[in-house]
Structures are given as C-alpha cells and as structure tokens.
C-alpha cells in the first residue's frame, strides 16, 4: 500500500496554504514583485538572472509580510466588509499569534535575502516599505483620504528597489521609475475606492479625495492622470528608454486619461471599474515597453 496522507489531512493542508496565500495577498505580491523585476531588467548592463531571482524571492516575502501585518491590524474591520470578511483572521481560521509569526518570519527572511544577495540599500528599502505600509498607511486609512498619498510611497518602492538591486545607485533613472509608479497609484486606488466605496464605509474607510463619489473626486483623479503624461516622456528625455517605449507609454497614458475623463463626465461605478481595469493594464505595459527598448 502507498503511504499517503489521509484525505482530511490533505484538505487541511490545502486550506492552510490557501490561508497563508490570503494573509500575504500573494496575487497582489506578484504584481508588486513584477515591477521590481522589470526595473531590474531595465537597468544598464547584462541582466544577472540569479540575482534577479533572489530579488523576486526577497520582494515576495517583504510584500507578503507587509500585507499580513495590515490584515492583523485590521482584522476587526475586515469582519465588517463583504470583500474581506472571509479572510483567515476575521473568519477565525487563523489565530493572531500564528499570523504575526508568519509576518515576522517572512519579513525578516525577505530583508535578509535582499541584503545578502543584492545589497544593503535594497534591504533598507524593503524594511522601509514594511514600516511605512504597516505603521503609517494602515492606521491612517480611517482618519483621512491622505492615506492614499502615504500608501503611494511604499507602493512605489518596488521599481526603485529593482533598480538599486541591479545597480547599487540612486540616480535620476531610479527616481523616474519611482515617480511613474507613485503617480499611477492615485487613479488606480481612487478607481478601486470608487467601486468599493459602499463596502469600505462599513469599516469607516473614506479613501476617495472628497470622501464620496462626486465630481471633486473624479476631477482629482483626472488631474493625477494628466500628471502621468510628462512623466511618461521623462525616461526618453534622460536616455533611460528609447522611441519605442516613448510611443507605447504615451499611447497607454492617453488612453488611461481618456478613461479618467469618462469617470469625470458620468461619475458612475461602471466608468470607475473600467478605469480600475485600465490601471491594471497600464503599469505592466509601461514597464515591459522599457525592457523591450533596452533589449532592442
């Protein structure tokens, strides 16, 4: 007879793995780490894929740690929202101590990997992202819409981390990569906040600029999207990328702006949802375009 685990144990193991994945938001972490990897590949010189692999692993662990700490702190609030009430902590499938242990271990291991296999500056950025997201952004979410601005700082660290892991230098190119992702987050987060506003308010979160779905929130979304236009040109101006990425970046930026204007015109959840999906499309296209330009 084969020595296999009982079916009940197998199901429990699968559920536990799903819970850890939910706690650390692994799908979101994938998008975050993608930004770091693309910036790493955009940096000048030959791509060290082994080093990039360690960057990806360290980035996954650091991001998962920050996401987990966020859920520990908001576990009671998550019970109030339809979107989050089935997470491991609010549904009591996981204890707080277990969640904290996972967050601490993943955070420490992730920062160590970034330090040992890339450089000290990368480790410092990884640690800074955890601290800002957990200790500043998370508690601010119920106090003021300024939380989106605060959260955009750790949210824009991944491309900066990728560049510095590859080069060890903080320069104009690194700042431009940071700026693109920083400004992109405003229409991205506000589109999500518009769609999820009713659910967010159950937990006391007011993340839209004016606190509600109105022309004021839509106008600020348009203005921040407009700011992406000159920023999209800057990598070409400073020689970080070439004509191909310039054309692609401007094309997707103007389409993104068109979606933001549509939201301003009708102020509907459907337009906000289209802008949200557009934001998911925008960033990878911009980052991949710069990598293709380098290869080409």
At 59, the pLDDT band (50, 70, 90 cuts) reads: very high
Boundaries of every domain in the chain: 9-170, 172-296
Task: Work out the average pLDDT over 240-257.
Answer: 91
pLDDT recorded at residue 143: 84
Chain centroid offset of residue 120 CA: 22
Cα(221)–Cα(218) distance, integer angstroms:
5
Cα(235)–Cα(31) distance, integer angstroms:
22
pLDDT recorded at residue 133: 94
Check whether domain 9-170 has CATH 3.20.20.70, yes or no: no
Q: Phi/psi class of residue 169: alpha, beta or left (left: φ > 0; alpha: ψ in -120 to 50)?
A: beta
CA angle in degrees (0–180, nearest 5) for 55-172-186 = 75
pTM recorded for the entire structure: 0.90
pLDDT recorded at residue 206: 83
3-state secondary structure of 156: coil
pLDDT recorded at residue 284: 92
Helix (H) or strand (E) holding 79: none
Least confident of 5-9, 62-66, 153-157: 5-9
Number of residues that this document lists for the chain: 296
């Amino acid at each position: 007879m084969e020595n296999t685990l009982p079916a009940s144990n197998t199901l429990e193991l699968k559920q536990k793995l799903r819970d850890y994945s939910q706690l650390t938001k692994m799908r979101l972490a994938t998008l975050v780490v993608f930004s770091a990897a693309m910036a790493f590949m955009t940096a000048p010189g030959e791509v060290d894929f082994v080093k990039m692999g360690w960057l990806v692993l360290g980035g996954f662990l650091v991001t998962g740690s920050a996401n987990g700490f966020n859920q520990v702190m908001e576990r009671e609030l998550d019970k109030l929202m339809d979107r989050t009430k089935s997470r491991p902590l609010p549904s009591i499938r996981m204890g707080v101590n277990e969640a904290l242990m996972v967050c601490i271990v993943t955070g420490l291991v992730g920062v160590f990997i970034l330090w040992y296999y890339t450089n000290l500056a990368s480790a410092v950025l990884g640690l800074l992202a955890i601290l800002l997201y957990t200790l500043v952004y998370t508690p601010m979410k119920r106090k003021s819409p300024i939380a989106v601005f605060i959260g955009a700082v750790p949210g824009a660290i991944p491309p900066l981390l990728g560049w510095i892991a590859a080069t060890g230098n903080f320069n104009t190119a690194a700042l431009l990569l940071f700026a693109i992702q920083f400004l992109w987050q405003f229409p991205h987060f506000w589109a999500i906040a518009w769609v999820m506003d009713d659910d967010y308010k159950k937990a006391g979160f007011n993340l839209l600029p004016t606190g509600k779905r109105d022309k004021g929130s839509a106008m600020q979304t348009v203005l921040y999207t407009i700011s992406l236009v000159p920023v999209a040109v800057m990598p070409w101006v400073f020689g970080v990328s070439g004509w191909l990425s310039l054309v692609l970046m401007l094309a997707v930026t103007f389409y993104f702006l068109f979606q933001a204007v549509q939201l301003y015109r009708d102020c509907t959840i459907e337009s906000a949802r289209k802008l949200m999906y557009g934001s998911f499309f925008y960033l990878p296209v911009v980052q991949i375009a710069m990598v293709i330009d380098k290869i080409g």
